[in-house]
Structure 1
Amino acid sequence: MKVTIEHSFCPYCDEVTELYFRIINTILFSGNEAELRESMRQLEKKTPLDEYFTYGYGARHLWVCQR
Structure 2
Amino acid sequence: MEEAAAALTAATGRTVTAVFLSYDEARAQGRALVREDEWLNDIGHRAPIGELAAYGVRLTPFREWAEENRNAILIG
TM range (shorter): under 0.3
Structure 2-normalised TM-score? 0.23
Structure 1-normalised TM-score? 0.24
Larger relative strand fraction: 1
Higher-Rg member (1/2): 2
